[in-house]
Amino acid sequence: MENELHPTLRASGSSPTYWLTRFVILRLLGLLYAVAFLVAINQILPLIGSKGLLPVGTYLEQVSSALGSDGAGFRRLPSLFWFWHSDAALLTVAWVGFGLACLVVAGFANALSMAALWVLYMSIVHVGQEWYGYGWEIQLTETGFLAIFLCPLLDLRPFPRQAPPMPIIVLFRWLIFRIMLGAGLIKVRGDEIWRNSTALYYHFETQPIPGPLSRWFHFLPHSALRVGVWFNWLAELVAPLFAFGPRFGRHAAGMVMVLFQLNIILSGNLSFLNWLTIIPALACFDDGFWARLLPRRLVRKAEAAAARAEPSKPMLATAWVVTALIAVLSIQPALNMVSPGQVMNTSFDPLDLVNTYGAFGTVGQERLNVVFEGTMDPDSSDQANWQPYLYKGLPVALNQPPPQIAPYQLRLDWQMWFAAMSSPAEYPWTLHLVWKLLQNDRGAVSLFARNPFPDKPPRYIRAIRYRYTFARPDNPQGLWWNRERVDIWLPALSANDPRLVEFMQNSGWLR
């Protein structure tokens, strides 16, 4: 019969198989690698290029000086850029990574290509400084490392002769277990509004970059928002416990965790975090599950591959070696997860092989935004004609609806979300950004949605901190946001301001 599964894809009566699981995991991982490298292609030079806000060359010199040598720096932060870190090198790594990722999306992956992607992206993360300091960066490197061992060494075909090694499938489940449980525990320990189920009263409005549906979620009845918190507990504290369980419980856990991530995708713009978190959750499903969802053409190819499968002792032996390595490296992250002093999004080894994760341990109850403004007027007071620099994602204009950005990431916008909760002293590169805007630096301006001074640089730049709140959907002005001014985050500065010039010289950014 057409709908009858091949015996090799059945989960009952024999061990489940994971040919289709591997196919789906690698395609989605390839897509996220492609997005991540595309972000680098577009933003890496204005962020860490030779004329970027935090130049990679200066950073490597600082690391080498602090650790005693380039060799010590490489051992602590392995990266290809210790050998070559020009702008051409940065773009070469980004473009090669993007090309390899597109091949994976197209269905062509082996251990060598996946290892190359892992090395290339890790090289960027380890020199990306605070622009790449997010938990999903090391989560991508850990996920990418495991994916190397799902594949044969050389065979690029979507359905090669070697089955995915079961130990690696289990390691993916161990990854989703740590990601979800770590996120749940950090919330329980971190914030009273999680414990009293009111966190979602604020989250959708105060998250880093809201999405098109965030306002709708924000104005849901409080009873629905409390149910959302309870679903969060189900997905993060209960479902992971069944990731290693019997087939029915494992499938149920996988579906709960995936649905939870899809809900977050709909309600905001958290970069590629949630798409990436779906990947290890897919290891909860076997081919019997996928055969009912995927096109029959793919199912038949998986059936044919399973029928002609050849065992590979080297591939299985390697999988067991990797499993032993991950087991040893998991000790410290596991102890951290159960510790009262739990930290999140931290790596415990130089290669980021086993990390600790967590997100939104605390939820802000107000949204602060720093808006850069420029003027051509000789007067730098409030009476001058100040024009804002619009971000690509963060709200500035009150009638501007939040865009859909994720899984793409706007790294300046994300850092400015953090900066708004702090002072310029904690984000000194913001003064470098002001200097570049005063020069109409093309790279710096490209990080914004548009340049309000396309013909001539402004005379003054300042930064004002505002408090933003969602406007109700039925407001007569058609506004998306309300705001009130909080304070002057950076005073008006000109290109010849001695305070700015001295700071730039002392920071090594003006030579």
- 119-157 pLDDT, tens digit each: 999 999 999 999 999 999 999 999 999 999 999 999 999
pLDDT in tens, 253-296: 999 999 999 999 999 999 999 999 999 999 999 999 999 999 99
Number of Cβ atoms within 10 Å of the Cβ of 202 = 17
Q: What percent of the chain has pLDDT over 70?
A: 97
Question: Residue 440, exposed/middle/buried by CB under 10 A (0-12, 13-18, 19+)?
Answer: middle
CA contacts within 13 A on the Cβ side of 443: 20
Please give the average per-residue pLDDT across 307-314, as a whole number: 91
pLDDT in tens, 413-425: 999 999 999 999 9
Residue position matching structure tokens 């070696």: 321
Question: pLDDT band at 361, cuts 50/70/90?
Answer: confident
Please give the average per-residue pLDDT across 284-310, as a whole number: 93
Question: pLDDT band at 15, cuts 50/70/90?
Answer: confident
Q: What's the confidence (pLDDT) of residue 1?
A: 35
Q: What's the confidence (pLDDT) of residue 299?
A: 94
Q: Contact, 141 vs 122, CB < 8 A?
A: yes
In this structure, the dihedral spanned by the alpha carbons of residues 37, 19, 235 and 335, taken in order and rounded to 10 degrees, is -80
Q: What percent of the chain has pLDDT over 90?
A: 92
pLDDT in tens, 46-102: 999 999 999 999 999 999 999 999 999 999 999 999 999 999 999 999 999 999 999
Please give the average per-residue pLDDT across 351-373, as a whole number: 94
Please give the average per-residue pLDDT across 297-322, as a whole number: 93
Phi (first) and psi of residue 388, to 5 degrees: -80, 150
Please give the average per-residue pLDDT across 370-389, as a whole number: 96
How far apart CA 282 and CA 176 sit, in angstroms, is 9
Please give the average per-residue pLDDT across 315-321, as a whole number: 96
Question: Residue 337, exposed/middle/buried by CB under 10 A (0-12, 13-18, 19+)?
Answer: buried
Q: Which two tokens stand for residue 337?
A: 């997860």
| Mean per-residue pLDDT of the chain | 94
Please give the average per-residue pLDDT across 285-310, as a whole number: 93
Number of residues written out for the chain: 511
Q: What's the confidence (pLDDT) of residue 10?
A: 53
Please give the average per-residue pLDDT across 327-335, as a whole number: 96
Question: pLDDT band at 9, cuts 50/70/90?
Answer: low
Which residue in 389, 367, 488, 386 sits closest to 433, CA to CA? 389
Task: Check whether 2 has a pLDDT greater than 80.
Answer: no
In this structure, the dihedral spanned by the alpha carbons of residues 106, 5, 250 and 168, taken in order and rounded to 10 degrees, is -50
Please give the average per-residue pLDDT across 443-471, as a whole number: 97
Task: Check whether 247 has a pLDDT greater than 90.
Answer: yes
How far apart CA 329 and CA 168 sit, in angstroms, is 15
Question: Residue 36, exposed/middle/buried by CB under 10 A (0-12, 13-18, 19+)?
Answer: buried
Angle between helical axes of 313-329 and 331-338 (0-180°, round to 10): 40
How far apart CA 342 and CA 339 sit, in angstroms, is 5
Q: What are the C-alpha distances in Å from 177 to residues 181, 182, 250, 368, 372?
A: 6, 8, 12, 33, 41
Asked if omega into 403 is within 30° of 0 (cis), the reply is no
Please give the average per-residue pLDDT across 237-261, as a whole number: 96
Please give the average per-residue pLDDT across 193-220, as a whole number: 96
Q: What's the confidence (pLDDT) of residue 510?
A: 83
pLDDT in tens, 483-511: 999 999 999 999 999 999 999 999 988 86
